[in-house]
Structure 1
Amino acid sequence: MDDPAAQLRRETGTTPAAPRRAAGAWPAPRAEERVHAVVSVPGSKSETNRALLLAAIADGPSTITGGLDARDTQLMRDALRVLGVQIDDDGPTWRVTPAPPGFEMRGTIDCGLAGTVMRFVPPLAAATAGQVLVDGDEQAYARPMRPLIDALIDIGARIGEDVTGLPFTITGRPDLPGGPVVVDASSSSQYVSALLLVGPRLPLGIDIRHVGATLPSLPHIAMTVSMLRERGVEVDDSTPHRWVVRPGPVAARDVTVEPDLSNAAPFLAAAAITGGRVTVTGWPRETDQPGALLPGLLTDLGAEVELGAEGLTVTGTGHLRAIDVDLSAASELTPVVAAVCALAPGTSHIRGVAHIRGHETDRLAALEAELERLGSHVDQTADGLTIHPRLLHGGTFRTYADHRMAHAGALLGLIVDDVTLDDIACTAKTMPQFPELWLDMLHQSDEWLAAQVRPGADGPGGS
């Protein structure tokens, strides 16, 4: 007998999402001189996908301006459309209209390799009439989901038996009650955010208790709570590791999305490792994004950092420093920080990131393998990496279909001759224009250098 997933594929004519293919080798460009550039990065993926889901359950239509247009956010928009949400995204401002009353979902939710889609959408599907198959890229099948699935079943969701991860079917129920639930979010804070986001939709709200030994990426949970409160949802987080969301309407709100600070990391780090100067425009003075830790991290690594009217400016001093750092609150920065550490004198330690073994790839194993491939000496620890200084050389840097790994490889290629990434297309997950922005950064640097030597121009010490 077919399993429910196979039966739904046959009935709806859908098939599992095919893994994305690599787009061919990409020689990482070398920075012949210090990098000098002004860079504008696109909107935050984390904020965009939360804004989309909240707009989908709001009490009326709303708009999102400056939302990230990338694979992860396209997958979120398409997933919400399966749930009956209307999204007009033909332009820089998107209009989102919640599903009409009585809508019944049917079809496939394609999560790709997007953690926010595979974690945030199933709770909403569980509270919607109809049935869907939740599927994704083959690599996504290994990403942890069991704690969230068990939590959803505990609050009344109808999900196939013995489900541990993708693919699985959900038979929705508009009367999904909610109420108290216990979840071990040690492997991903997204479990907590996923339950928080559906909380106001449930008749009993939701009372979430985290019971795991660790809780990574707390800023992402803070972002979720803040965005709920901005829409009039009552959230009580006064008790550590407990969140109570009261049922009630989610106010429609027009929003503008901040730049993605984590995606700014490789550009700012380029200034630090080349002794140059890079400004990322639009840097917020207050934010819940984990990337807000970058200024302190880059200062610890030896750079100078200044937040001004134009944005955040990082200036390399020519003297990198080894660090000993806990990145549990901003683990997505690990690949870029590890790449900088591989260029710094002295042994560096990155701690608190055991959970990134379950991200797009096992990032700790991938970083160990690829940094060692270029001549570094790296040891995995229980919760991170120890990186020892070595003279690096060129070679192929494998990305494992992971955009953050590609950022790390491109960064190393600025300093190390003949580094080739096996797939730059994976950066489309959160920043499709990364290759163009990277090359533009170097083009701006060439123009800056030419201005220093042009007859009649101010020299490096000019006014």
Structure 2
Amino acid sequence: MTDALPPALAITPPNRPLSGRVSPPGSKSITNRALLLAAMAEGTSRLTGALKSKDTVLMARALRDMGVTIDEPDATSFLVTSTGRLNAPAAPLSLGNAGTATRFLTAAVATIEGTVVIDGDEDMRLRPIKPLVDALIALGIDAESPTGCPPVTIHGTGRFGSGRVEIDASLSSQYVSALLMAAPFGDGPIEVALAGKDIGARGYVDLTLAAMRAFGAKVDSRDDGSWLVQPTGYKATDFHIEPDASAATYLWGIEALTGGRIDLGVAEGAFTQPDAAAQAVIAQFPDMPEVIDGSQMQDAVPTIAVVAAFNNRPVRFVGIANLRVKETDRIRAVANELNRIMPGLAREEGDDLLVASDPDLASKLAGRNARARIETYHDHRIAMSFALAGLRVPGIVILDPACTGKTYPDYWDMLAGLGVELIPTA
């Protein structure tokens, strides 16, 4: 099914518990970090357990365009060979709507001697990057982004500066991770400090630090808001990538909504990614709390919100303003599509999302003939999350199902493997 997905898929509620063994794909977040660090390390690194999806393919292609050799010996491994330095590409780097790759490479290419343009698709050109560009300029790097979003042009001298740099990370922790990963190429130690205390999902910075240290970087956390990075460069290493916690949220959602049991092949406590916190929340269904702070598990919010539609009491999601600058405005998208299923099911209140919740939702909608055609906004997480509603509600149709290839290429095959009937439709 994955190779030739139709324009839309209709989901037939299974009306039974779904159980089985499903291995989530490798973490996108960790795969893209490991690819970049291996590309900036002298020698050959073997990355295992990796995700092969649209986002990581775009990252690998960009690194190849900058002179890095990347072989793929099997479906979950990369073999990365590098001189330890990136070279200026012959053309602009086009990264689609891959946010991690765009932010990470914007800082990394500042270590290059030459001019590099970082660009993306029309959606990426609406996603803010100005705080990162401002931080690079503060380090003495010639960087420009006329709109505050991609494209970004870097005129590099091969030097990354030194000293203290402050960055506004209130929109995304990826700005911090991008600076940290490039900082070992500084002329001297670099202190990366938050401008204010607000930061996106801080746990992703911890993922960055762990990966950096695995590749030989020396970085110390000075306090809650600053990190000191020594100019060590990186050393090639073998690195294993854990399964994707964001992908696991859909499996936990399947368990909750069908009363089944999915064996992920990994202990729930083994995840180091922030979205793993969603498991404890989803496990409380149908009595999830009335207020859920999504600030530190942002990619899990659409999953939890769809599950919340069937909860015993309404749920308010707070701390999620950053969801407005993801692949789409996810607060608005989730509210719109829940209301497409049943008017009044969700609403936006400022940057909060309120899901009205109705434990009888499935029975109320069981007799209807109309279909709820779910607009996915080219956003993989909207598609995968709303597919969960189709496990209970008849008539759910997911438009543009192929968008799940961004992070979970086998998503629909996984559902079919669990016994969910997916009907191709126009």
Q: TM-score w.r.t. structure 2 length?
A: 0.90
User: What is the correspondence of 1:136-285 to structure 2 with a 5 Å cutoff?
Assistant: 136-160=120-144, 162-212=146-196, 214-283=198-267, 285=269
2:158 counterpart letter in structure 1: P
Q: CA deviation at 1:168?
A: 2.8
1:85 alignment counterpart: 68
1:421 is paired with a residue whose SS is strand
Q: CA deviation at 1:418?
A: 0.6
1:297 alignment counterpart: 281
Q: CA deviation at 1:300?
A: 2.6
2:334 counterpart letter in structure 1: L
Q: Is contact 1:223-1:288 (8 Å) kept?
A: yes
1:132 is paired with a residue whose SS is strand
Asked whether 1:57 is paired with 2:24, we answer: no
Q: CA deviation at 1:225?
A: 0.9
Distance 2:284 2:293 in 1: 12
Distance 1:234 1:284 in 2: 30
- Deviation per CA, 1:254-295, whole angstroms, max 9, x where unpaired? 011111111011122111111222221134644421132133
RMSD of aligned C-alpha atoms? Answer: 2.0
1:369 alignment counterpart: 336
2:310 alignment counterpart: 343
Q: Is contact 1:29-1:410 (8 Å) kept?
A: no
1:412 alignment counterpart: 389
Distance 1:408 1:104 in 2: 39
Asked whether 1:117 is paired with 2:131, we answer: no
- Deviation per CA, 1:120-169, whole angstroms, max 9, x where unpaired? 00111111122222111111111111111111111122223635111232
Q: CA deviation at 1:440?
A: 0.6
Q: CA deviation at 1:67?
A: 0.8
Distance 1:163 1:206 in 2: 27
- Deviation per CA, 1:325-376, whole angstroms, max 9, x where unpaired? 1111111000000000011121111111111100000000111111011115
Relative contact order, higher structure (CA 8 A, sep 6+): 2
User: What is the correspondence of 1:297-316 to structure 2 with a 5 Å cutoff?
Assistant: 297-302=281-286
Distance 1:161 1:67, change over 3 A: closer
Q: Is contact 1:134-1:169 (8 Å) kept?
A: yes
Deviates more, 1:236-245 or 1:46-55: 236-245
2:39 counterpart letter in structure 1: A
Distance 2:98 2:39 in 1: 18
Q: Is contact 1:262-1:332 (8 Å) kept?
A: yes
Q: Is contact 2:347-2:354 (8 Å) kept?
A: yes
Distance 1:228 1:37, change over 3 A: same
Deviates more, 1:39-48 or 1:168-177: 168-177
Distance 2:187 2:288 in 1: 53
Distance 1:402 1:182 in 2: 31
1:441 counterpart letter in structure 2: L
2:159 is paired with a residue whose SS is coil
1:182 is paired with a residue whose SS is strand
Q: CA deviation at 1:184?
A: 0.7
More strand by share: 2
2:301 alignment counterpart: 334
1:127 alignment counterpart: 111
Q: CA deviation at 1:103?
A: 4.0
2:305 counterpart letter in structure 1: A
Q: Is contact 1:322-1:344 (8 Å) kept?
A: no
2:323 counterpart letter in structure 1: I
Deviates more, 1:198-207 or 1:356-365: 198-207
2:348 alignment counterpart: 380
Distance 1:141 1:162 in 2: 11
1:153 is paired with a residue whose SS is helix
Distance 2:288 2:154 in 1: 50
1:6 alignment counterpart: none
- Deviation per CA, 1:63-115, whole angstroms, max 9, x where unpaired? 10121000000011011112221111242432111247694433121111111
2:326 alignment counterpart: 359
1:417 counterpart letter in structure 2: P
Distance 1:44 1:102, change over 3 A: closer
Q: TM-score w.r.t. structure 1 length?
A: 0.83
Q: Is contact 1:82-1:108 (8 Å) kept?
A: no
Distance 1:104 1:187, change over 3 A: closer
Identical counterparts, % of pairs: 34
Deviates more, 1:274-283 or 1:58-67: 274-283
Q: CA deviation at 1:211?
A: 1.6
2:175 is paired with a residue whose SS is helix
2:29 counterpart letter in structure 1: S
Distance 2:79 2:384 in 1: 32
User: What is the correspondence of 1:11-90 to structure 2 with a 5 Å cutoff?
Assistant: 24-90=7-73
The count of corresponding residues between Structure 1 and Structure 2 is: 406
Q: Is contact 2:70-2:78 (8 Å) kept?
A: yes
Distance 1:141 1:72 in 2: 16
Q: Is contact 1:181-1:207 (8 Å) kept?
A: yes
1:305 alignment counterpart: none
Q: CA deviation at 1:321?
A: 4.0
